[in-house]
Chain A
């Protein structure tokens, strides 16, 4: 008997998937859990797992962002401490990104080393405190390359000024950073939540080591097809950024081959995770 979960995962693969043995392993490369003041598991964590299961998502790569801007040292430390508790409670389900403000220099690097090397976090999450091309980011990008973990970089490109986020990076900045640090796996965040997605895809064309995640609330038809067409399926990662049905819907609807869909849904992120230094 086909369960609802089997059906939704099969639907993610497309209409020909019924002929495929097994179902795809689906990894959400970009999600979040809510900030909390103390390191404990909260109902929202379980709700997230339930929502993911209902949509056929097997694993979620998550960060906990602290709410204050600019991000404080104590803020990101609290978030990472709480996330370590969650990832230990749900091993293999939630995979942690260590969130830091790069402006804290050595203390940010120490935070990353601790959570990647001692707590099993799988990557680094950077928000909009600095452009990814700012010199303060260089030690972080270098460390990520050494640890062989990805950097998920918040990004967006709008055509109107002033931006409500003055230090937001766009895909052009990420392409430049990827050229400077070719050993580092940079992920341009939320193709579908970062403004002009056509611009973003084109700006990443000539940065072959950079990835893009498909997350976001914008449901525009054609986003996945263009990303796969311009960048190649190997550089596109499924993500939700909490916009879960819109994000699953775009992968269900995208007119790409099943092999490419499998890459986007999970194989690419699994490969990134496998590169992590033991």
Chain B
């Protein structure tokens, strides 16, 4: 399996275990996850997100066969162009991770569009988690709303040549993003918070978006990875489709 939604480093509001490269690899072995896309949890609240990218670069450098680093960039912060260049050329980072509501910008701001165009030019996929934590458990210090699906849809429409991963989200099936109506097929949905039984959101998205646009992700080490694994296990879908979700689609998107 390839997990497109994993983190390294500290998070400001809760202790994370397994948040070093060694710890995450133990978690991955336990859940039979072969490779994981990782980005900095600390960069979510660092003012200068690049420090988090440097930390991740240091953590993964001896584990590049299994840990695939993405850069957390903030287009509202000074010098992101330089950070992008360093992350891509020196750190070998394979994609970007954006936190618009934590970093204080809109996905359709001109600053963000400039960054997304730059990522597209370098064929870097852009991962956007719609939330970091369940909003009910946020610290008294913050009040960060989830990313609105319609904002993500507007971004997908604005930059059709970019490739997006939308994750840490649920309830999309009836939305514009979930239906794919009049939107370019330039985004995939990650499953960590989707249902596989009863309301079966994964099944609904497979029907509307197709089997090539659903990706396995767990949110580890914020989350137990076993919940996401269980979703794939009980999903009522042919083995070939599960294989695509588990790794095939991610391999294509990440160029592995």
Interface residues of A (CB under 8 A from B): 8, 11, 15, 44, 47-48, 51, 54-55, 156, 158-160, 194-198, 217-222, 242-250, 252-254
Q: A51-B198, A217-B193 are in contact. List 19 more A-B contacts (CB 8 A).
A: A44-B198, A51-B197, A51-B234, A54-B197, A55-B197, A159-B138, A160-B140, A195-B134, A219-B227, A221-B17, A245-B195, A245-B228, A248-B227, A249-B227, A252-B227, A252-B229, A252-B230, A253-B31, A253-B226
Give the residues in chain A near B82, CB-CB below 8 Å: none
| B129 CB to nearest chain A CB (Å) | 13
Docked complex: B89-144 residues within 8 A CB-CB of A: 134, 136-140, 143
Q: Using known A-B contacts A219-B192, A244-B197, determine if residue A253 contacts B140 with beta carbons closer than 8 Å.
A: no
**B139 x A242 contact (CB < 8 A):** no
Partner of A250, one of B14, B221, B227: B227
Give the residues in chain A near B229, CB-CB below 8 Å: 249, 252
Give the residues in chain A near B46, CB-CB below 8 Å: none
**A54 x B234 contact (CB < 8 A):** yes
**B14 x A198 contact (CB < 8 A):** yes
Interface residues of B (CB under 8 A from A): 14-18, 30-31, 134, 136-140, 143, 170, 192-193, 195-198, 219-231, 233-234
Give the residues in chain A near B221, CB-CB below 8 Å: 221
Closest A residue to B234 by CB, please name it: A54
**A195 x B136 contact (CB < 8 A):** yes
**A245 x B225 contact (CB < 8 A):** no
Please indicate which of the listed interface residues B225, B227, B234 has the most CB atoms of chain A within 10 Å of its own CB.
B227
Give the residues in chain B near A48, CB-CB below 8 Å: 198
Give the residues in chain A near B17, CB-CB below 8 Å: 221-222
Give the distance in Å from the alpha carbon of A9 to the alpha carbon of B223 in the complex.
Answer: 21
**A253 x B225 contact (CB < 8 A):** yes
Give the distance in Å from the alpha carbon of A196 to the alpha carbon of B198 in the complex.
Answer: 26
Give the distance in Å from the alpha carbon of A102 to the alpha carbon of B152 in the complex.
Answer: 44
**A55 x B234 contact (CB < 8 A):** yes
| B26 CB to nearest chain A CB (Å) | 10
Closest B residue to A48 by CB, please name it: B198
Give the distance in Å from the alpha carbon of A246 to the alpha carbon of B193 in the complex.
Answer: 8
Partner of B223, one of A47, A219, A242, A252: A219
**B198 x A195 contact (CB < 8 A):** no
Q: Using known A-B contacts A218-B137, A219-B219, determine if residue A252 contacts B224 with beta carbons closer than 8 Å.
A: yes
Q: Using known A-B contacts A198-B14, A249-B226, A249-B229, determine if residue A160 contacts B143 with beta carbons closer than 8 Å.
A: yes
Please indicate which of the listed interface residues B30, B224, B229 has the most CB atoms of chain A within 10 Å of its own CB.
B224
**B134 x A245 contact (CB < 8 A):** no
Give the distance in Å from the alpha carbon of A48 to the alpha carbon of B200 in the complex.
Answer: 12
**B16 x A221 contact (CB < 8 A):** yes
Give the residues in chain A near B136, CB-CB below 8 Å: 156, 158, 194-196
